[in-house]
A and B are shown apart, each in its own frame.
Chain A
């Protein structure tokens, strides 16, 4: 398995919305390289015919009836908001779509 490069760490940081500082990038790249080397071992025994387990329980079909339950009040919903306006969450300008 190839190691993880500094550029890759930078890309992953962007994907996960982390504004890493340059020295953090270097440090993480080094540490993650070691970690990735170690964890890559899983492929040694992960044979084709072994089914994956996503969940420790064999449960299926857990559902709830379509019945309305009380919501929070708008005041409760907004209580933790860094900023609010007109009973809405106020956020900085959103880039991207237009």
Chain B
């Protein structure tokens, strides 16, 4: 039975398709695991036992009827609570949406259901995806399965922790400034931010519309590719969705697992090193670069000077868009309503509700964004940040003229203790230093485990960055690194994690 939860998504799907195990058995095994460990981990905000079992039964019935099953049919998944699920509570980690039951499915939710994926429940996250630790959830923090007193990253800490705790083989995250990749890095799992516009945002509760992108989280690169192919593709309900065929990601992952990177040109970004980068993180990163060389890749160092302005630009653009996106939470049509005692005005009730319903980080960013958009400040702040965005895109374009992928540590440090940076926003923001440029430029990037930092025995992530619409390169290079490291360690990194 324990194999059922340790199997990869690819293995589970194959076992179900072959009739070796039923989808219901697989779902039940994961529900049992959640029952056993989630009190400690707190990866889930809502477990949809009935929904999961009925989805699993449908897969089993389909198989019994001799119908063809999709490549992920019957595989359980943990869905970040930022995607709407019809009939299942959706909170985005906020008090202001406590108890809200959406009347519609996000396009991504719909696609998962259509693929026969079994959605186990909704995972914890920083409120409205604002954070790098999941401490900003209104429903309490999530523990990192490697050390429950440490953060699992954020904002998608619940999804990453669910994978690392074997509560689900697949999970969905969203990445606005690193919210898939950084949790992946600090939990020893794989996370991918797809090219902006390739995964529908319809039904993704917006944090920053021009940066948000849903993506796959998994324990292996191949599993991520399978999930990525299932959720990607054009959606007419999202105006920013690219109308182009989904790339052959699974094929790229399989090719990469062969271990040959001859002819692949890799660039090391000079700016992602130095002060603030943990020694053990840099050590594992440098070893990964050597592994890439060993697999036949050519490695060059290059410079992206504007990247050092990415963090400030991000902290203007994201809060600005958020201040507008979050205006709809006004206590009129859905969600929390506070102070409606029959004497107060709608205006006052809105202000009281937002005061009570939003946490400090959300309020901080709303105020910052409101400031950056105000007349008189717009050009200096929002306008300048958009220019930085142009410069970063140009730096990427210049780099990708010379190399196929860029690499860097995913995040400068390993998982820090819960509470350490809770009231120091500037320190917290540094966690996304290496991930943010790809959100600003819209290109694709992956975090793949590359070992444990010697000083704390906690996972380190290698970030691989590819141009927009070249996400397949991530899977080829990521799978090659993964295979080489698994070979070196003799098993997947996650097996080093302490038992829960």
Contact = CB atoms under 8 A, between A and B. Distances in A.
Interface of A: 1, 4, 8-9, 12-13, 15-21, 24, 28, 31-32, 34-36, 38-47, 50-57, 59, 62, 64, 72, 76-77, 79-83, 89, 91-96
A46 to B, nearest CB: 4
A19 B390 contact: no
Contacts of B384: 42-43, 46
Nearest to B352: A19
B335 A80 contact: yes
A42 B334 contact: no
Contacts of A13: 367
Nearest to A8: B371
A64 B202 CA distance: 15
Contact of B240 (A19, A40, A59, A77): A59
A94 B345 contact: yes
Interface stretch (B27-35, B51-59, B116-124, B309-317): B309-317
Given A43-B384, A46-B384, A77 B350 contact: no
Nearest to B334: A80
Contacts of B471: none
What DSSP secondary structure best describes chain A's contact surface? Answer: loop
A39 B315 contact: yes
Interface in B27-70: none
A53 B386 contact: yes
Contacts of B371: 4, 8, 12, 32, 36
B387 A57 contact: no
Contact of B346 (A24, A43, A94): A94
Contacts of B381: 39-40, 42
B49 to A, nearest CB: 22
Contact of B351 (A17, A28, A35, A89): A17
30 contacts: A12-B370, A12-B371, A17-B347, A19-B348, A32-B367, A34-B426, A38-B426, A40-B380, A45-B388, A46-B383, A47-B387, A56-B196, A56-B197, A56-B210, A57-B196, A57-B240, A57-B242, A62-B240, A72-B103, A79-B101, A79-B103, A80-B102, A80-B103, A81-B334, A82-B332, A82-B334, A82-B335, A91-B346, A92-B345, A94-B347
Contact of A28 (B331, B335, B367, B468): B367
Given A9-B367, A18-B363, A50-B391, 16 more contacts: A17-B327, A17-B350, A31-B425, A35-B368, A35-B425, A38-B312, A41-B312, A56-B441, A80-B335, A81-B333, A81-B334, A82-B335, A82-B337, A89-B332, A89-B333, A92-B348
A6 to B, nearest CB: 12
Nearest to B372: A39
A85 B271 CA distance: 59
Given A28-B363, A83-B340, A92 B346 contact: yes
What DSSP secondary structure best describes chain B's contact surface? Answer: helix
A51 B386 CA distance: 8
A32 B391 CA distance: 26
A37 to B, nearest CB: 10
Interface of B: 100-104, 196-197, 210, 236, 239-240, 242, 306, 309, 311-313, 315-316, 323, 327, 330-337, 340, 342, 344-352, 354-355, 358, 360, 363-364, 366-368, 370-372, 374, 380-381, 383-391, 393, 425-426, 440-442, 468
Nearest to B341: A92
B240 A55 contact: yes
A62 B239 contact: yes
A92 B340 contact: yes
Contacts of B240: 55, 57, 59, 62
Nearest to A42: B384
Nearest to B383: A52
Contacts of A28: 363-364, 367
A35 B426 contact: yes
A59 B312 contact: no
B440 A56 contact: yes
Contact of B345 (A18, A41, A93): A93
